[in-house]
Structure 1
């Protein structure tokens, strides 16, 4: 049984907005500024001073506004797992770092608050495109205007984003999913930012996002919450409700969900 939480979804959302904006201001100081990068696993996994300083600034805001909550974050020494009890903030200071370091505008600062492991509020801002996606309870907004998932039902009309990192061990899975999208759905969008992809599903800009491998909480939780707030569905490949520790993620507008899950599973079984 989790601890009693003293913040409403609206109050949590207000903090999420404030903290993402604070982190975005730091990140923007370095965008297209030619900063040096370090690398985690390989040359396709960069981390910059911007990531580290943006996360530190976000944590400053959270420590002031919600000091009892745990901090889960990609950078520095933040914890890496979502607690199953009590409140937590999940931070991705720059989602789409490869885009960021190359001067591509599709990167975001993303934040979600969970209580007992379930998201209650989220905000994802794309400062380089001046877009902010956010959800508290059961409404998703883009730039302060309510939105919802798309209403498309014809598989041939779906625009779908594969959400994968670039780990070598996942590349075969990535090949299978992109082949499925190309041959059985309408079109593919590889955006290079999982949180951006999920926010776009939530607001009807694209119709679905798919990963058949485990994705970290900071790459997914905020966006998954927004998809559900926008009326969509998020499950794993088995059709079970998606959680931060699931081993796959299928996010759709809901209307096509069962068809997409079934046809993807059938194709993967053949390969």
Structure 2
């Protein structure tokens, strides 16, 4: 692993180990509501602080974009920016459900270079480096060989924080369901995307995500031989928040199935 990747892994494990320990005393956490169905706890904030401290010690001049801390520092001439979700799946975590993750990505000059998704409950570490492939612990990852939607397992997430695109999403859900695949909604987009890279899911789509939800997972899919785009097939997923990923053929089938049901007001 490169020194940058080593730092990302160290930070992800530090946050994940903290979340595991804190998960044994959830009743002590202070929980706040940031918006409709959108919660933050002491655990989120402390996990992010630990990640940021590790990155700052190694690379004090790098910019950081975190879910809880927002943008920190300016992107300098080297163009390095870390994109962090210290606890993706907060609602699951606060209810003792074992589906949450730590997501850390490094973007250099607007190009994703490193992606790490850590599932502390299963001790599963997904790591991708641009041009060097993706791994789960010590195993090389490859997206599945699924070639069509019929019989595929597809991950998704509901637009639960904002109902702005709920009608469009509901129509896409119905269309994908009718294509004969199994749909799973687990509650951590970062982990869902990592599962596409691992071949556990054959595809994934969701509307209304944030960069920290998807950055690491997007690189994992690409380095595992899959395809990931925005919901109209372009390269603006990090800007629009609408993402589709999967094997080459499943990705295209998802796009073809979803596109007719997108509202005109959905970001292109």
TM normalised by structure 2 equals 0.89
SS in 2 for 1:56: helix
* Alignment correspondent of 1:59: 52
Task: Tell me how far apart the structure 2 counterparts of residues 102 and 259 of structure 1 sit (CA, whole Å).
Answer: 35
Q: Unaligned regions of 5+ residues in structure 1, if any?
A: 1-8
Mark the CA change 1:99 to 1:87 in structure 2 (over 3 Å): closer, same or farther: same
Moved more, 139-148 or 33-42: 33-42
SS in 2 for 1:151: coil
Mark the CA change 1:247 to 1:75 in structure 2 (over 3 Å): closer, same or farther: closer
Deviations 1:217-254 (CA, angstroms, capped at 9, x unpaired): 11010100100010111112221124421352111111
Task: Tell me how far apart the structure 1 counterparts of residues 166 and 178 of structure 2 sit (CA, whole Å).
Answer: 18
Matches within 5 A, 1:1-271: 10-33=2-25, 34=27, 35-42=29-36, 44-76=37-69, 78-79=70-71, 86-138=79-131, 139-166=133-160, 167-211=162-206, 213-268=207-262
Shift of 1:192: 0.3
SS in 2 for 1:266: helix
- Contact kept, 8 Å, 2:14 with 2:50, in 1: the verdict is yes
Alpha-carbon RMSD: 2.1
* Alignment correspondent of 1:5: none
Shift of 1:22: 1.1
Question: Stretches of 4+ moved more than 4 A in 1?
Answer: 80-85
Task: Tell me how far apart the structure 2 counterparts of residues 84 and 168 of structure 1 sit (CA, whole Å).
Answer: 37
Q: Unaligned regions of 5+ residues in structure 2, if any?
A: 264-268
Shift of 1:67: 1.5
Aligned residues: 258
Shift of 1:108: 0.3
Mark the CA change 1:239 to 1:82 in structure 2 (over 3 Å): closer, same or farther: farther
TM normalised by structure 1 equals 0.89
Mark the CA change 1:25 to 1:189 in structure 2 (over 3 Å): closer, same or farther: same
Deviations 1:124-159 (CA, angstroms, capped at 9, x unpaired): 111012211111123111122101100111321111
- Contact kept, 8 Å, 1:32 with 1:102, in 2: the verdict is no
Shift of 1:30: 1.6
Task: Tell me how far apart the structure 1 counterparts of residues 81 and 52 of structure 2 sit (CA, whole Å).
Answer: 12
- Contact kept, 8 Å, 2:150 with 2:181, in 1: the verdict is yes
- Contact kept, 8 Å, 1:74 with 1:80, in 2: the verdict is no
SS in 1 for 2:118: strand
Mark the CA change 1:11 to 1:62 in structure 2 (over 3 Å): closer, same or farther: same
